[in-house]
Amino acid sequence: MRRIRLFLAALFTVGALAPLAAQQAVPTYRILVVNDDGIRAPGLAALALVLQAIGNVTVVAPNENQSGASQSLNTRQPIFREDLRLSNGLRAIGLTATPATAVQIAVKNIMMPRPDLIVTGINNSYNLGTAVHLGGTVGAARQGAMEGVPSIAASMASTAVPGDIIAAAEEVLGVARRLKQYGLPARTFLNVNIPPMPQGGYKGYQVTRQADTRGGDETFAEAKHPGTGATIYWSVYKEGGIAPEGTDIWAVQNGFVSVTPLAIDDTDTKTLDQVRGWFK
């Protein structure tokens, strides 16, 4: 028994020293987390917490809600920085900037060397179908891909209950683990959408194509400003829509986590020869 104890003690000593050398030799996987709902959004805090399982997380996000900002950039006003803590105690940096600009500043000024992965979200509304061109969550991930960093945009249904946030973040973690293992081609990124938790749990991941419809209906309520009497309009968006099997919209409507590879090149290659013919 004494020999066994001595052997285990020696093994523990070697094991304690070996990881230290390994940590010095192997660079840490560095993750940037951004969103468009604002630095205090619960989806951001949940995502940053869960992603610590695979790397060191840095949070840089807009100070205020920037939903619908797409890939717009700040070009004319100074951008202010605020160092703070999220609701779960994690350190974060808030910027008076759009999501895409937050990515630029994080990559060029804050994270040195640049991150190995950018994850945006978790957005409190789907980014499905043609809506991927509108949301700041996808815009920030697209900016990340343009900066040469593998990126994931993550969104969940607006009808999901607060208790689904950690479960949704864990699904995003599953995608991030695979990206870390296998990598992505340059100038591409992943758009992930998580439905409300079905009874019995999510049905799994489904790799999908982008539907050619928005995946929801936007209308504008009209009212009079109570102070001035001026006519004002307010966006009212309802998730929904119908799309065929194999699309991102169909997947989430049937309980799957949708994973859609997207490219930053929007060229319609099918129409190239036709349009070339116009100029002969």
160 pLDDT band, cuts 50/70/90, is: confident
Global confidence as pTM: 0.86
Helix then strand then coil, % of the chain, to nearest 5: 35, 25, 40
Per-residue pLDDT, averaged over 65-75, amounts to 89
pLDDT cut 70: percent of the chain above it:
89
Q: Crossing angle, helix 42-51 and helix 164-182, to 10 degrees?
A: 40
CA distance 253 to 231: 37
CA distance 227 to 169: 43
Amino acid, single-letter form, for residue 270: K
CA distances from 130 to 103, 126, 228, 241, 248 (A): 22, 11, 36, 12, 10
CA distance 134 to 214: 10
At residue 17, the 3 state secondary structure works out as helix
85 pLDDT band, cuts 50/70/90, is: very high
Lowest mean pLDDT among 26-30, 80-84, 152-156: 26-30
Q: Are 75 and 102 in contact (CB under 8 A)?
A: no
Q: Is the domain defined by 26-214+242-278 classed in CATH 3.40.50.150?
A: no
Q: Where are the domains of the chain?
A: 26-214+242-278
Q: Check residue 196 and give its pLDDT.
A: 94
At residue 262, the 3 state secondary structure works out as strand
The sign one gets for the Cα dihedral 161, 91, 140, 41 is positive
Residues 6+ apart with CB under 8 A from 168: 43, 46, 122, 154, 156, 160, 194
25 pLDDT band, cuts 50/70/90, is: low
Q: Check residue 227 and give its pLDDT.
A: 86
Residues 216-272 have pLDDT tens digits of 677 778 888 888 888 988 777 676 778 889 999 999 999 999 999 999 999 999 999
Q: Which residue from 198, 50, 186, 19 is spatially nearest to 121, judged by alpha carbons? A: 50
Give 96: exposed, middle or buried? Use CB within 10 Å, 0-12, 13-18, 19+: middle
Q: Are 197 and 167 in contact (CB under 8 A)?
A: yes
Amino acid, single-letter form, for residue 136: G
22 pLDDT band, cuts 50/70/90, is: very low
CA distance 92 to 122: 15
pLDDT at 209 over 70: yes
Q: What is the pairing mode between strands 231-239 and 216-224?
A: antiparallel
